[in-house]
Amino acid sequence: MNHPNILVTDSDGIVSIEISRRDKKNAITGDMYRAMSAALFHARDHHHVRAVLIRGQDDLFTAGNDLTDFLHRKAGDPSAAIPFLHLLSSFEKPLVAAVAGNAVGIGTTLLLHCDLVYAADNATFQLPFVNLALCPEAGSSLLLPRVSGYQRAAELLLLGEPFDAATAREAGFVNRVVAADQLMATALAAAQRLAALPAQSLAVTKALMKRPPDRSAIEAMDEEVIYFSDLVAAPAAKEIFSAFLGKRIPNPEKIHGRQK
């Protein structure tokens, strides 16, 4: 999990994954994707981890995939980005991203897989796939039109021009824009709030929201009720109900289970 350009911490229920390769604008190499995957596996497999924060620094997120790696890639070569993106896309625990400065290519598309995205007012996003004679990756050809609407996604993906944090917020994949010096504190506070909530309910809620959107409301209700009826009978919910009725604070150990 240790990599000089991927700084991982695990504390207070939050795994923080910091991209840190500043001399190359945090461009991500194959080894860096593998280190981020290792950190996600660690977060996934440890009960005490309840949220993940993905970040750069307060003036830089990432210039995207390392272009030297792209230069040497041959058709059909495996990419370490793919397993990382699969893991991210199917990640059951909450994912929070803190974005500042440049967020190019995968620096923007990975955000489409995060649950809460906070951007600094100095953030600049760009999806220059066509400009690089490539095409969208990370599921962005599906997810961006879904979140932004077709024409807005087409503008961002076809023209590939840089856009600011306010535009990203209007496009629907940034929750909030904050001053750069408030970014990390804002994102960490959100991760802390998520980490304090019942983990199973968060996981079920994520899974339900990520189901294919072409289901009918009846299908969605039917599926929700399967999970709901288990959750309503589980110890976490019982503790929260009784705490409310007993006018006391819920016991976190009964909500989260014993820490390993």
Report the distance separating Cα 103 and Cα 117, nearest Å. 12
Of 32-40, 66-74, 167-175, 232-240, the segment contacting ligand COA by CB under 6 A is 66-74
Residues 90 and 150 sit within 8 Å (Cβ to Cβ): no
Residues 90 and 139 sit within 8 Å (Cβ to Cβ): no
Token output for 93: 């625990």
Q: By C-beta, is 68 or 242 nearer to ligand COA?
A: 68
Site membership for ligand COA, residue 53 (CB under 6 A): no
Among 43, 54, 63, 120, binds ligand COA (CB under 6 A): 63
127-166 residues in contact with ligand COA (CB under 6 A) are 128-129, 132
Report the distance separating Cα 54 and Cα 115, nearest Å. 11
CB of 214 to ligand COA, least distance (A): 29
Among 5, 8, 14, 25, binds ligand COA (CB under 6 A): 25
Among 4, 41, 67, 185, binds ligand COA (CB under 6 A): 67
Among 13, 17, 40, 66, binds ligand COA (CB under 6 A): 66
Among 14, 27, 114, 119, binds ligand COA (CB under 6 A): 27
Q: Are strands 163-164 and 124-126 parallel, antiparallel or unpaired?
A: antiparallel
Q: By C-beta, is 130 or 209 nearer to ligand COA?
A: 130
Cα–Cα separations (whole angstroms), residue 226 to 11, 81, 206, 211, 234: 33, 34, 15, 14, 13
Site membership for ligand COA, residue 105 (CB under 6 A): yes
Cα–Cα separations (whole angstroms), residue 154 to 141, 159, 161, 196: 9, 8, 11, 38
The phi and psi torsions of 16 (rounded to 5 degrees) equal -105, 130
Q: What burial class does residue 3 get, using C-beta atoms within 10 Å of its C-beta: 0-12 exposed, 13-18 middle, 19+ buried?
A: middle
Of 100-108, 183-191, 207-215, 220-228, the segment contacting ligand COA by CB under 6 A is 100-108
Token output for 227: 């999970």
Site membership for ligand COA, residue 24 (CB under 6 A): yes
Site membership for ligand COA, residue 65 (CB under 6 A): yes
Token output for 146: 């879904």
Binding interface with ligand COA (CB under 6 A): 24-25, 27, 63-68, 102, 104-105, 128-129, 132
